[in-house]
Structures are given as C-alpha cells and as structure tokens.
C-alpha cells in the first residue's frame, strides 16, 4: 500500500515505515505531522485517485530531525570570455517517518 502526497509544491510517493526528506518545516523532533493533501492511494490492485485530493484521506508521520544536505557546487563557465561563477548550495530538510496511511 502506498500514497502520493503533496507537500511544499512537490509530490512524494510514501509507504508506511518510509523515512522521507521534506523541505524544512521548522518542527521539533517527535512532533506528529498530518498530510491532508493526498493525491492518490493504492491498496494492492485498487488505485483511488482524487480530484485533486481524496476527501478524508490522511497520511500521518513523525518528525525525526532537521538538518542540511551535502553541498552542491554550481559552476558556470563561458569559454573564451574569461567569465566564470562558482557557487555552493545546501538544502535544509526535515526528515519524517511515515507512520500511518488512512
């Protein structure tokens, strides 16, 4: 059984017991989270799709921690122009364990 949820403008495919990295939510560890924007739920061969969301469907999770990803280097170079830009980026995330799909 899995569900497709929407959070922070992104869509995630989740199962019970999964640990997912979401965009930073600013929540303390051990906090309960509910996702009510459920786009689809699959139970075996039965797929239920919302228009756009399924009414009454809830995916529950528990915050594990917050942190920062590894640094990504963005390097742009224009040949023969003596032009280059080097920039770094680290994404903030909230790690959540999915506990229940209802």
Q: Tens of pLDDT along 13-32? A: 999 999 999 999 999 999 99
- Quick check: is 86 in a domain? no
Residue 80 is predicted with a pLDDT of 95
pTM value?
A: 0.84
Summarised one tens digit per residue, pLDDT across range 45-69 is: 999 999 999 999 999 999 999 999 9
- Quick check: is 12 in a domain? yes
Distances (CA, A) of 70 to 3, 89, 93: 28, 8, 11
Number of folded domains in the chain? 1
Q: Domain of 97?
A: 2-66+93-101
Alpha-carbon Rg for the chain in angstroms: 18
Closest CA to 95 of 2, 20, 8: 20
């Amino acid at each position: 059984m899995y569900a497709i949820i929407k959070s922070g403008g992104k869509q995630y495919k989740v199962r019970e017991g999964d640990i997912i990295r979401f965009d930073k939510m600013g929540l303390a560890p051990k906090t309960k989270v509910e996702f009510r924007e459920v786009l689809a739920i699959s139970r075996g061969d039965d797929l239920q799709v919302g228009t756009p969301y399924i009414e009454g469907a809830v995916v529950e999770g528990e915050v594990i921690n917050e942190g920062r990803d590894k640094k990504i280097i963005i390097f742009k170079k224009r040949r023969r122009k003596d032009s280059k830009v080097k920039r770094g980026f680290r994404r903030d995330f909230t790690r959540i364990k999915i506990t229940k799909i209802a």
